[in-house]
């Protein structure tokens, strides 16, 4: 893979696309610096080689140059985490940025103002990308979170560095982890797909059926499958226009020798509320007026066995409404099963949206092999799409 390790940055300026789209509180303090920490190895490698870094990122979704979305707010946090003074250019293109980039000495960092203060960024404007390209000698993409967007700084800019472009460590790790699961994972390979709706996961399911040996379907998706097979799902979330699709998935799975595992019992509630009355019921006999909001105990024993029998595990989507304490048990139990399987030697990747939030909230982050940093980018990778930001580095 074309990673940053293929380059020596001595006396070179690295133009690095990072993802510093971090959450800020009302006083513009960074409340979660994970993304800044994640880009550190890449930045430090360049500095230790004797090079300098020009860092570019977006922050939020500004309409023009709105002060509240300025990257100035995060300078102090970057300095604390990287232990290096950070210079700042008030515009990501133009005279000031060029002068400040040219003045950089080995070991120094320049942060550019929010890329999205220019609408040309998200439009993938070629002239804007060209102006960005003048700020560095080698282009490094380390922003997985935006790799699925053909924006100027994530994709278009790469064409101005035909011989000198590469992946940063974070992006390389994301690519490797996905490959390890979807292409060369040790068998048996398991995907656990939870979350709310079949419709939002259908492309993932279709892509994954060619890659896995086992597929656990949980969360709200369960009920579309159960109803399609003739069960009574009561008031559970169910996509009635996707019943045929669910049956088709079951059929395809059988043809491809993929074992599908669905919950057999659920925690049913008489309202979509943490304070609702609950009962454990068979998933095919949920009474009217009740809805399944979490996987039941029998299901969790069954899922635990499947998880522990597999060597490669992908987890996307919670097993229940984990935001409510009374319906988080299934998601937590699954986390424990995957953590144990990982300890016993399996490779586990958690990616895409809510399962990442769940893993962090329940303390499994360090107990799985890799937690992806990109929601939409991970989902598109799992759908089998080629991400433009990755493709741009791979193209000759």
Site residues, ligand AMP (CB under 6 A) = 195-197, 200, 219-220, 237, 292-293, 317-318, 320-321, 323, 353-354
The nearer residue to ligand AMP, 56 or 181, going by C-beta atoms, is 181
The nearer residue to ligand AMP, 135 or 267, going by C-beta atoms, is 267
Q: Is 53 left (phi over 0), alpha (psi -120 to 50) or beta?
A: beta
Active-site pick, 185, 353, 374, 389: 353
CB of 288 to ligand AMP, least distance (A): 16
CB of 168 to ligand AMP, least distance (A): 27
Q: In whole angstroms, how far apart are CA 182 and each of 29, 203, 273?
A: 38, 14, 37
Q: Decide if 193 contacts 316 (C-beta within 8 A).
A: yes
Q: What is the CA radius of gyration of the chain?
A: 23
Whether 353 sits among the annotated catalytic residues: the reply is: yes
Residue with tokens 């995907």: 191
Active-site pick, 40, 180, 197, 367: 197
The nearer residue to ligand AMP, 122 or 331, going by C-beta atoms, is 331
Strands (DSSP E) found in the chain: 13-17, 52-56, 86-89, 109-112, 138-141, 165-167, 189-193, 214-217, 259-261, 265-269, 278-282, 291-295, 312-316, 347-350, 370-371
CB of 48 to ligand AMP, least distance (A): 39
The nearer residue to ligand AMP, 145 or 219, going by C-beta atoms, is 219
Pull the structure tokens for residue 332.
């937590």
Whether 17 sits among the annotated catalytic residues: the reply is: no
Which of 239, 235, 216 is closest to 295 using CA atoms?
216
Q: Which residue is nearest to ligand AMP (CB)?
A: 195
Whether 197 sits among the annotated catalytic residues: the reply is: yes
The nearer residue to ligand AMP, 115 or 233, going by C-beta atoms, is 233
Residues 6+ apart with CB under 8 A from 170: 38, 39, 41, 42, 142, 143, 144, 373
- Residue-wise DSSP of 330-356: HHHHHHHHHHHHHHTT-EEEE-STHHH
Which of 325, 306, 324, 374 is closest to 145 using CA atoms?
374
The nearer residue to ligand AMP, 200 or 207, going by C-beta atoms, is 200
Active-site pick, 60, 375, 376, 384: 376
Active-site pick, 13, 17, 35, 116: 35
Whether 173 sits among the annotated catalytic residues: the reply is: no
Residue with tokens 């024993």: 301
Q: How far apart are CA 106 and CA 114, in angstroms?
A: 24
The nearer residue to ligand AMP, 175 or 237, going by C-beta atoms, is 237
CB of 354 to ligand AMP, least distance (A): 4
Residue with tokens 């924006």: 151
User: In the β-sheet with 86-89, what is the strand arrangement from edge to edge?
Assistant: 86-89, 109-112, 52-56, 13-17, 138-141, 165-167
CB of 241 to ligand AMP, least distance (A): 17
CB of 323 to ligand AMP, least distance (A): 5
CB of 294 to ligand AMP, least distance (A): 7
Active-site positions read 35, 197, 353, 376
């Amino acid at each position: 893979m074309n990673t940053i390790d293929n380059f020596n940055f001595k006396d070179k300026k690295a133009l690095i696309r990072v993802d510093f789209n971090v959450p800020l509180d009302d006083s513009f303090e960074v409340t979660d610096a994970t993304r800044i920490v994640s880009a550190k190895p890449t930045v430090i490698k360049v500095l230790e080689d004797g090079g300098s870094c020009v860092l570019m990122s977006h922050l939020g979704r500004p309409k023009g140059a709105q002060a509240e979305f300025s990257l100035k707010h995060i300078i102090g946090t970057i300095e604390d985490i990287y232990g290096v003074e950070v210079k700042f250019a008030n515009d990501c293109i133009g005279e000031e940025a060029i002068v400040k980039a040219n003045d950089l000495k080995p070991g120094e960092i320049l942060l550019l103002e929010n890329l999205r203060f220019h609408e040309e960024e998200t439009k993938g404007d070629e002239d804007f990308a060209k102006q960005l390209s003048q700020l560095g000698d080698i282009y490094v993409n380390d922003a997985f979170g935006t790799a699925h967007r053909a924006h100027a700084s994530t994709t278009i800019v790469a064409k101005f560095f035909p011989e000198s472009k590469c992946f940063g460590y974070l992006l390389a790790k994301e690519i490797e982890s996905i490959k390890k699961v979807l292409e060369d994972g040790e068998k048996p390979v398991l995907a656990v797909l939870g979350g709310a709706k079949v419709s939002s996961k259908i492309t993932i399911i279709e892509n994954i059926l060619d890659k896995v040996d086992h597929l656990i379907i949980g969360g709200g998706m369960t009920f579309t499958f159960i109803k399609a097979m003739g069960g009574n799902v009561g008031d559970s979330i169910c996509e009635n226009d996707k019943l045929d699709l669910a049956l088709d998935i079951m059929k395809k799975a059988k043809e491809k020798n993929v074992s599908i595992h669905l919950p057999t019992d659920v925690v049913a509630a008489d309202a979509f509320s943490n304070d609702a009355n609950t009962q454990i019921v068979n998933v095919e006999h949920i009474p009217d007026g009740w809805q399944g909001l979490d996987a039941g105990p029998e299901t969790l024993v069954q899922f635990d066995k499947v998880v522990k029998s597999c060597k490669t595990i992908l987890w996307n989507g919670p097993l229940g409404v984990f935001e409510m304490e009374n319906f988080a048990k299934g998601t937590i139990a699954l986390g424990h099963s995957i953590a144990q399987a990982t300890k016993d030697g399996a490779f586990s990747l958690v990616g895409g949206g809510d399962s990442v939030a769940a893993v962090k909230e329940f303390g499994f982050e360090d107990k799985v092999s890799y937690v992806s940093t990109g929601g939409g980018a991970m989902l598109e990778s799992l759908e089998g799409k080629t991400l433009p930001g990755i493709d741009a580095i791979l193209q000759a």
